[in-house]
Structure 1
Amino acid sequence: MFEFPLEPATVFAERALQFAGWGIPEPVISRVRASVDDMWGDGPSSWVPVWRAEALAAEAGEQWLTAALCWGAARFPCLAGPARVQAYERQLACYPKAAAFERWVCEVPYRSGTTPVPVHLYRGDSRSLLVMSGGVDTWKVEVHRTALAAARGMTVAVLDMPGTGESEVPLAADADVILAGAVERIAGHVGAGRTAFVGLSFGGHWAAKLALTGRVHAAVDIGGPVGAAGHTVDLSTLPNGMPGIVGHALGLAALPTADDADRFAADFSLRRQGLLDDPLPVPLLAVNGTADPYLPAEDTAVFHGDPNATAWLVPGAGHCASEHLATLLPAALAWLRFQLERDPRSAADLIRARHTIDPLLAGSPG
């Protein structure tokens, strides 16, 4: 656990929309934004104590989802210290009081042993299974709304990306083994026939990798780095505290060094792994904004022209095209249901969804 330079004002400028997307009420976000002036301390105007007060107030009113999401904001962006660890524990305790889901833990082979993968399961009405993951700072509970929307047509399993949340292993380039193993075991547990993976932010890296290696039947990569240029982003130059956030996921004891950044750039490039040289064996949808401060547009545009790929690049939008996710996510889920079901209803839903996003994609490169 280590702290790193990060200002609350910077976090809110970038993430207030994301917090609202999780489901935190706007007045709560505004109150915290006006009160916090310190990211890491334990004083009355520090990040964790201010969010803790909102979470406790929500608990007192039995507003369990708001409480869980506020505890999630309190532990954000990583478990850098005991107060954030405790906030995360409170989030995991509150969430079962707010939502109907099955918690299930599967043991997955990894390297010389196994590792546990805790899963939140939301049962749907088809034999298709959608497995979802957030990124380095957005974990299981934060994708609550997306999981419920997807579960209207599929069984949905939400898990933490390796190196985050309840994962017991650090982020590593071979962690796709864990996710592929989890997909297989969850599918057996729920009796699913066809499987898909949706990854948000860094989770999109794994969605792309599972699709490129044919270990799911379809996948959606929203803002995931793939290293199309032969290397991933330069970790040391990323804005908004991202070097520290990724450093925590990697299990480092301090901010990444130049050597750490070079190793990260090489290890996580799917181009260097040879995975971008051949056509996709299964359908993949890649989504991002052209103004992403973390990733080059090439990491999405690289999929243009592949007969099994669809790329939605939103001109002027930021990371994960977050300004437009309320429109893009339903369309992405419609695309995914069509890939899995291939029936008249899913085809009609996809046509309608495509009409909603065409204005966003006008002028998109490629």
Structure 2
Amino acid sequence: MSYEFPVDHRGLFEERTGQFLSFGLPVSDLEELRASINSTWADAPGGWSYEWSALAAKYSAAGNHSLAAMIYGIAKFPVLANESRRRALRNQVDEYVKSAPGFGLEFERRVLSLPYRNGEIELPVHILSADGRYEDAPVLLLSGGVDGWKMDMHPLASAFAKNAGVTVIAFDQPGTGESPVPLDAFGDEVIDGLVSTARALGNGQVAHLGVSFGGNFAVRSGLIGAVDAVINIGAPVKGAFETANAERLVYGMGDIVGNALGFDAPATKEALVQGLRAFDRSVLMTADDGRTPMLVVNGADDVHIPLSDTTLFEERPNTQVHVIPDAGHCAVTKLPELTPMMIDWLRDALSGTAPRTGR
């Protein structure tokens, strides 16, 4: 289920310009599309998905499949609420696979059978490895959040696969992308199935990196001791699920989350909060002994996630917390310079040499 919702395309540009540019979009393309787009949902000239898809098709025709995939990722943003968005996602997958020979990595697209509600689901994942010898390396599970999905996370996935000594399994969290199930409490079963798959695929060590809402699932993996290391970038954990925070969500984020939760029409703030309360991971902290090392990163100026959802980890043992000044949600504009630090931390964590506290 999905639905369109009122959101000004100008607001989408305002919030996401830094993110789009950090993915490698030329400034000239951004400004050209900013001037030509006049509608968020219309599948016609001037429509968001229509114009971004036309630009992506030009890059595809020129043989630049990597940039085409990234731009189709913008075309599908923010939710798969109509056929133009779903078509953009299909095109993104096609272009991403075509661009794989240029990754400088071994790449595999695989469909996994994973447990869900006494049955199984089929979830496409992308596996990236420096040498293809999965059995010799730890495995890093990696996902984005409700509006940035596995292919949008390619810069992170590629950096870790090349430099952290890990095999990366990039996936779409429940409620997003190619995931066939909504964002609900049963989604934890899918993550547990991914952890089991990762242990069998690699050398037995598993880490979990989640960006935005993906970090919520990563936090759970760490707090229950299911994985050997966690990186949480900008996760909603507790305060984000309070009514006061739901009331201040901007740029359509409430309805983006509503789509992920499986609503078929705009929900009341009360219904939204009720749907999200299953993801309050702070309740797991009382029984957590800190044995899983955790790195927590977010921007100091996040408009979606209260700062308290980051700083609450400062008292957790075996945890480093970094609040990045002059950065917004997930510190996305600073990720290129933060990534080497995160890679070093993960290497140390998996070898047992990461500092147990610090900021």
Please give the TM-score of this superposition, normalised by the length of structure 2. Answer: 0.90
Q: Residue 163 in 1 paired to residue 169 in 2?
A: no
Q: Residue 50 in 1 paired to residue 51 in 2?
A: yes
Partner of residue 63, structure 1: 64
Report the count of equivalent residues: 345
Structure 1: gaps of 5 or more residues: 351-357, 362-366
How many angstroms apart in 2 are the aligned matches of 1:297 and 1:187? 33
How many angstroms apart in 2 are the aligned matches of 1:87 and 1:174? 28
Please give the TM-score of this superposition, normalised by the length of structure 1. Answer: 0.89
Structure 2: gaps of 5 or more residues: 102-106
1:152-189 deviations in whole A, cap 9, x for unaligned? 1211110001110110100013422211211211331x
Answer yes or no: is the 8 Å Cα contact 1:236–1:261 preserved in 2: no
Higher deviation after alignment, 315-324 or 146-155: 315-324
Shift of 1:233: 6.6
Shift of 1:236: 4.3
Alignment map for 1:276-355 (pairs within 5 Å): 276=286, 278-342=288-352
Q: Which amino acid aligns with 2:348?
A: F
Alignment map for 1:118-133 (pairs within 5 Å): 118-124=124-130, 126-133=136-143
Q: Residue 116 in 1 paired to residue 116 in 2?
A: no
Shift of 1:277: 5.3
Q: Which amino acid aligns with 1:294?
A: H
Higher deviation after alignment, 157-166 or 231-240: 231-240
Partner of residue 185, structure 1: 197
How many angstroms apart in 1 are the aligned matches of 2:229 and 2:68? 34
State the Cα RMSD in Å.
2.1
Q: Which amino acid aligns with 1:218?
A: A
The SS at the match of 2:348 is: helix
How many angstroms apart in 2 are the aligned matches of 1:342 and 1:60? 48
Higher deviation after alignment, 166-175 or 258-267: 258-267
Alignment map for 1:15-54 (pairs within 5 Å): 15-54=16-55
Answer yes or no: is the 8 Å Cα contact 2:239–2:245 preserved in 1: no
Q: Residue 145 in 1 paired to residue 155 in 2?
A: yes
Partner of residue 354, structure 1: none
1:173 counterpart (185, 198, 209): 185
Answer yes or no: is the 8 Å Cα contact 1:108–1:117 preserved in 2: yes
Partner of residue 104, structure 2: none
1:266 counterpart (249, 255, 277): 277
Quickly say closer, same or farther: Cα 1:160–1:232, change in 2 above 3 A: farther
Answer yes or no: is the 8 Å Cα contact 1:270–1:276 preserved in 2: no
How many angstroms apart in 2 are the aligned matches of 1:230 and 1:134? 18
Alignment map for 1:82-93 (pairs within 5 Å): 82-93=83-94
Partner of residue 105, structure 1: 111
Shift of 1:289: 1.7
How many angstroms apart in 2 are the aligned matches of 1:311 and 1:174? 29
Answer yes or no: is the 8 Å Cα contact 1:290–1:296 preserved in 2: no
How many angstroms apart in 2 are the aligned matches of 1:241 and 1:296? 17
How many angstroms apart in 1 are the aligned matches of 2:273 and 2:98? 44
Answer yes or no: is the 8 Å Cα contact 2:238–2:280 preserved in 1: yes
The SS at the match of 2:226 is: coil
Percent of aligned positions that are identical: 39
Answer yes or no: is the 8 Å Cα contact 1:236–1:258 preserved in 2: yes
Quickly say closer, same or farther: Cα 1:97–1:282, change in 2 above 3 A: same
The SS at the match of 1:122 is: strand
Shift of 1:231: 4.4
How many angstroms apart in 2 are the aligned matches of 1:311 and 1:277? 20
Q: Which amino acid aligns with 1:139?
A: W
Answer yes or no: is the 8 Å Cα contact 1:235–1:264 preserved in 2: no
Alignment map for 1:234-273 (pairs within 5 Å): 234-271=245-282, 273=283
